[in-house]
Amino acid sequence: MGHRSKEARGEITNAQCPMPNAQCPMPNAQCPLNPMLTTPERPQSPIWLVIIRLLRWHKPEGRLILMIPALWAVFLAASGKPPLPLVGVIILGTLATSATGCVVNDLWDRNIDPEVERTRDRPLASRALSVKVGIIVAIVSLACAAVLAFYLNPLSFWLCVAAVPVILLYPGAKRVFAVPQLVLSIAWGFGVLISWSAVTQTISQATWLLWGATVLWTLGFDTVYAMSDKEDDRRIGVNSSALFFGNYAPLAIGIFFAGTILLLSWLGVVIHLHLAFWISLAVATIGWVWQSLRLRKRYLANSAYGKMFQQNVWIGFILLAGMIAGSL
């Protein structure tokens, strides 16, 4: 059997090694340049999977929690029996809108997301996708939302148009506004105005009560979510409601949830909702009280905040079921 070459035996030749043998302190067998010891690069994910990550479709709770207030509105405005095509448009519209918001947010934050533990693996932050691809995906998502908006009546359509600047500018709010979660909450509230007016072609007292409840609820659960990023946000120099309220954040969250309960109760009285709604509101109240008390603990793992966010998705759907049953 003939002798194998150094390359075949996995050894480093003088041509491959940048350091002369006399100066190299490491044996050939331990050299990191040895092809026998190098780790092959991990294969890249297909671009369609990376785009799904960009749209956050692999984390459905964030999409669902935007959809919930819009569904509250469309079912309450229609006394529990909205036209199914309209429900479909609302669902697809919230998915397209949230997709646009996610991509725009990541375009704004592509240079600071790598500094935050929770966001450093996002496709634009990790450079798995280019800015050009991100812009194209944002335009396509916004175009899909626009097409769906043409199905709605004029009032609802123009409310959709009014929501666009809020969605596009929200990511910039954290750089200049002390409580950027309020801007996000107002964006969430447009889902209520659009969906309610899509049924009634008007905005009433009941609409504003539901809008106010949605804004306060969003302020509550998004401040919870922001608490997991508090130290990273402080280091980078961006604003959040968690930083603004500081040690009083648990108290502020409790007040936001209490305001949500108050406005939903007022709404239930105004539109004469039945027992099922009040039962669902009682369950939601228990959930929010439990979260508010737990947040007062001195030390909580970051994962606890994400779990509370997910719990609010379930609370939202429990309320939706109560609103539907209580309207019939």
Whose CA is closest to 61, among 227, 263, 222? 222
Whose CA is closest to 157, among 167, 147, 168? 147
Q: Is the dihedral of CA 238, 53, 214, 191 positive or negative?
A: positive
* pLDDT single digits (tens) 17-67: 545 444 454 444 444 444 433 333 344 778 888 888 888 888 888 889 889
CB 18 within 8 A of CB 32: no
Alpha-carbon gap, residue 181 to 170, rounded angstroms: 9
Q: Is the dihedral of CA 19, 24, 28, 31 positive or negative?
A: negative
The CB-side HSE value for 320 (13 A sphere, CA atoms) comes to 21
DSSP, residue by residue, 239-255: --HHHHHGGGHHHHHHH
Record the tokens describing residue 161, joined without a space.
């148009």
Q: Where is pLDDT greater, at 305 or 3? A: 305
Mean pLDDT of the residues in the chain? 85
pLDDT at 204: 94
Tell me the fold of 57-323: Tetracycline Repressor; domain 2 (1.10.357)
pLDDT at 261: 97
pLDDT at 254: 95
Q: Three-state DSSP class for 297?
A: coil
Q: Read off the pLDDT of each residue in 193-200 and give the average, rounded to a whole number.
A: 96
CB 170 within 8 A of CB 101: yes
Domain locations in the chain as residue ranges? 57-323
Amino acid residing at 213: A
* pLDDT single digits (tens) 128-155: 888 899 999 999 999 999 999 999 999 9
Band the pLDDT of 321: cuts 50, 70, 90.
Answer: very high
> Which pTM does this prediction carry?
0.83
Band the pLDDT of 12: cuts 50, 70, 90.
Answer: very low
- pLDDT cut 70: percent of the chain above it: 87
